[in-house]
Amino acid sequence: MSDEITPVDGQVSPPPEVGDDSVVPDETVRCGSLPPLRWRELPEPISWKKMVGPSIMLAGLALGSGEFVLWPYITYKAGFIFFWACILGVITQYFLNMEIERWTLATGESAITGFCRINRNWAWVFLILNILPWAWPGWATGAGQMLSWALFGAQEVVDPETGVVSFEARYVPLLGIAGLWLVGVALTAGPVVYNTVERIQIVLVGMIVVIVIGLGLVLIRGDAVMAMVSGIGSLGQMPDLDATGLTFISLLGALAFAGAGGSTNLGQSNFIKDKGYGMGQFIGRITSPLTGQEEAIADTGFLFPDSPENRRRWHGWWKAANIEHLLSFFVTCVICLCLMSLMTYSVFYDAEGVLKPGMDKYGAGLDFVWGQATVIGDRATGGGMLKLGFLVMGIAVLLTTELGVLDATARISTDIVKINYL
């Protein structure tokens, strides 16, 4: 990816006067219906190690959708024939996220504000796309279901008409509501919202990675790894939808959620702004109305003049941001996607790549997760501890998603309304 910043007209203008009242002309960056950007020198870059945080938050948000649910479910249904799309999806998201970061690094504004400078109608479009898909808290009930299974086990229920077996969990609505309250307290209690969420997500994501690697070392077979490698190499191959019961929509959704997905990728620009990447240092952070000290938040962003010194600084920021996102987001997502799918395959399939007898009964909803826990728990050595570790990992995975979704969607919606309508 290029690290150049070029004016929209392609011409290099004389160095502008930098000051509090000096504005960026419309021919350099279109302001649209928003106030123009102001000139300001780009801060000195910092080490990528000091920038760690935003991409771990985005990875934590991603783990509960594609990594723990969608791709293991597709693996359970169809093996690794479609896994090439998983790797393609997470690679695409890496580059997409870096382009989202580029605007915020250069201006301190969110990526959506950049869209709204082109046309203000993007505001209501993104607002709808950010609210409607996340209005149904499936990740909250999923976390409640995992916690119920860990505490009380599952109740096997057979539909008398169809004969379909399901594994019900108790008190899911109550546990889901309790999880939402817990996340609400976490988002409200910390003085600086970003700092609170970052600390929680680093702990949870770190715990998840440790558990998934530990479980993987015990459960994953060599033939499963070879099957995954073959699946990654089968570019363009599709599972048989009729035989597997999968739908084109579910495959498309899995491709989108190989990583974060939906509007939540746009939250990365809000995360790095509050972390203080680049021009984000001059914008201000969101603080708690109860425990925080209010900070002045700039209505619009800044742009740095095109000078040798600012180009040097920009190159430093861009390189560090790429390294941080590669290690914190891309590597974390790939490790979890691969290991969680490999565990699913090793649990449900034999060495010949055939679904083990009796394993097809776990095909409804999240039941395949309980199926994995059950088979893991039946191991002769350490089965009980491994099963508990798997369920604890599942609770942590869905809790990180619950926290991340509520934080990111609230940030994005608030930013859109404040910048465009207040």
pLDDT tens, position by position, 129-138: 998 888 777 7
pLDDT value at residue 225: 96
pLDDT value at residue 1: 53
Secondary structure of the chain as H, E, C letters: CCCCCCCCCCCCCCCCCCCCCCECCCCCCCCCCCCCCEECCCCCCCCHHHHCCHHHHHHHHHHHHHHHHHHHHHHHHHCCCCHHHHHHHHHHHHHHHHHHHHHHHHHCCCHHHHHHHHCCCHHHHHHHHHHHHHCCCHHHHHHHHHHHHHHHCCEEEECCCCCCEEEECCCHHHHHHHHHHHHHHHHHHCCEHHHHHHHHHHHHHHHHHHHHHHHHHHHCCHHHHHHHHHHHHCCCCCCCHHHHCCCHHHHHHHHHCCCCCHHHHHHHHHHHHHHCCHHHHHCCCCECCCCCCCCCCCCCCEECCCCHHHHHHHHHHHHHHHHHHHHHHHHHHHHHHHHHHHHHHHHHECCCCCECCCHHHHCCCCHHHHHHHHHHHCCCCCHHHHHHHHHHHHHHHHHHHHHHHHHHHHHHHHHHHHHHHC
Residue range 286-335, pLDDT digits in tens:
665 555 556 556 667 899 999 999 999 999 999 999 999 999 999 999 99
pLDDT confidence band for 8 (50 / 70 / 90): very low
First to last CA, the chain: 36
pLDDT confidence band for 195 (50 / 70 / 90): confident
pLDDT value at residue 12: 45
Question: Is the per-residue pLDDT at 9 higher than 50?
Answer: no
pLDDT confidence band for 196 (50 / 70 / 90): confident
Question: Is the per-residue pLDDT at 11 higher than 50?
Answer: no
Q: Output the CA torsion 310→315→319→320 (10° steps).
A: -20
Residue range 335-384, pLDDT digits in tens:
999 999 999 999 999 999 898 988 888 877 788 889 899 999 988 688 88
pLDDT value at residue 294: 60
pLDDT value at residue 293: 56
Question: Is the per-residue pLDDT at 228 higher than 90?
Answer: yes
pLDDT value at residue 303: 93
pTM here is: 0.87
Which domains, from first to last, does the chain contain? 38-421 (1.20.1740)
Residue range 59-111, pLDDT digits in tens:
888 887 778 888 999 999 999 999 999 999 999 999 999 999 999 999 999 99
